[in-house]
Amino acid sequence: MATERERQEFIARFCAEYTDKDRGYTLQQCIDAARALLRHARTHGNLAVQQCNGPEHLNGPSPYDWQTQPEQHREWINGNNAAREAWEAQRERKELACEKRIKEICAGFNLPVTLGGDPRGFTVKLKLPSGAYNTWGGSEEGYGVPQ
């Protein structure tokens, strides 16, 4: 989870990139877009964490029940459970909707975006016009949106 400082630094960087006279965006448009990107990047990161953890931690059998209820546990893990399939379908719909919103915001600023699925880092990375970056991958990776 990002600190307030990281979030404010992202808003400041985003506004600095797009509020000059050549680009034609107002300060308020940049602030609104940056805040929306922060909100959706957080959701995208949370969905990536859910994908890594799987549905077992939500409503499946306890990992400690595998000895007392081996058949139920085996069905859940192997994906033969309707609840697991419904959870995966719902998570996928949420992820697609979130990615669509992020891409729409970036398209409004003609901003290339990279979406990843590894929750240990930034799941949303932007290619800012100045080439600024805050990721280990350097300017090729881009500027990660805090989540």
SS3 string of 15-57? HHHHCCCCCCCCHHHHHHHHHHHHHHHHHHHHHHHHHHHCCHH
Q: For residue 45, what pLDDT band results from cuts at 50, 70 and 90?
A: very high
- pLDDT of 87: 77
pLDDT higher than 90, residue 125: yes
Question: Cβ atoms within 10 A of the Cβ of 79, count?
Answer: 10
Rounded CA separation 137/135 (Å): 5
Rounded CA separation 56/62 (Å): 8
In contact, 40 and 118? CB cutoff 8 Å: no
Q: Look at the block and give the residue holding tokens 């404010």.
A: 8
Q: For residue 71, what pLDDT band results from cuts at 50, 70 and 90?
A: low
pTM of the model: 0.83
Query: If we measure between CA atoms, which residue out of 29, 43, 37 comes closest to residue 7?
Result: 37
Q: For residue 107, what pLDDT band results from cuts at 50, 70 and 90?
A: very high
Give the type of residue at 114. Answer: T
- pLDDT of 75: 63
pLDDT higher than 90, residue 119: no
- The predicted model gives 85-98 an average pLDDT of 89
Query: If we measure between CA atoms, which residue out of 111, 105, 103 comes closest to residue 23?
Result: 111
